[in-house]
Amino acid sequence: MWAERRYWSEGSNWYTGDVGPVGQKGQKGEDGRTGPMGLTGDRGPVGPAGKKGDRGPGSSPEVGGSVYTRWGKTVCPRHSDTLYTGVMGGSHFSHSGSGGNHLCLPHNPQWNDTCAGFQSNSYIYGTEFRVNPANNLFGSTVGNPHNRDVQCAVCYSPNRPSHVMIPARLQCPYGWTVEYMGFLMSAHHEHQKSEYLCMDQQPDSTFGPAANMYGNRLYQVEAVCGSLPCPKYRHGYELTCVVCTK
């Protein structure tokens, strides 16, 4: 095979010779500058779903809860915790002032600095049942609770953060839990106004003597036709109630 020929000149003379051997390979040069970014490609397919993560602290079933009072009983329902038990208290039936709500007063009160005698002109009395002996609708195990002191229990439902008292019902809405049911009670219509509350249908009425102590009083609430839509509501009928949690 003939070697490649090369030609060159020196002045007016031309010369030719064979190509010399190939030289050694030189060192690799530095990388060039990065070029501009290309166009974004099409989006790939969605990958498979990952494993379900752990439940967060904000949605834990043990977070929250609700507190309610079970009027007439000394123990809370078995699915609720009893925070404390006590006796029901409120304003005197003939006074026009003081508090309008009722309180569950603990059996073991704690005192701070006190001053003997009455100086503040605001008082609280024990609450008694005022039930017509001929119309006793409570299923008390000790008979008619008339003139008996009303007991109470403050309850905590740890896994149900909402509670509601529904008058004129004995059932809770779907998905809600019945804490207790009973009768609607409040003050006499000619006495000081007070709240409507739900009294357990089977009250524990063994606390205190069966005597009129002239304190705070509770009467069963009866429906009056006219503004109320009768005949669904019935004139002179005692209203029921239910306490629900969720």
| Single-letter amino acid, residue 177 | T
**CA–CA separation, 32 and 210 (whole Å):** 104
Question: Which tokens go with 93?
Answer: 């039936």
- Ranked by mean pLDDT, the top range of 93-102, 105-114, 169-178 is 169-178
Helix (H, G, I), strand (E, B) or coil at 155: strand
Measured in degrees and rounded to the nearest 5, phi and psi for residue 18 equal -80, 155
Please count the other Cβ atoms lying within 10 Å of the Cβ belonging to residue 113: 4
> Who contacts 68 (Cβ-Cβ below 8 Å, separation ≥6)?
154, 155, 157, 163, 165, 179, 243, 245
H or E element in which residue 163 lies: strand 163-167
Task: Give the residue with greater pLDDT, 127 vs 137.
Answer: 127
Residue 59 confidence (pLDDT): 45
CA–CA dist 156, 212 (Å, integer): 33
Whether 179 has a pLDDT exceeding 80, the answer reads yes
pLDDT in tens, 10-34: 555 655 666 667 777 777 777 777 7
Report the predicted TM-score, pTM, of the whole model to 2 decimal places. Answer: 0.69
Helix (H, G, I), strand (E, B) or coil at 65: coil
Contact 125, 210 (CB under 8 A): no
pLDDT above 50 (res 124): yes
Q: What is the pLDDT of residue 122?
A: 81
- Residue 7 confidence (pLDDT) above 60: no
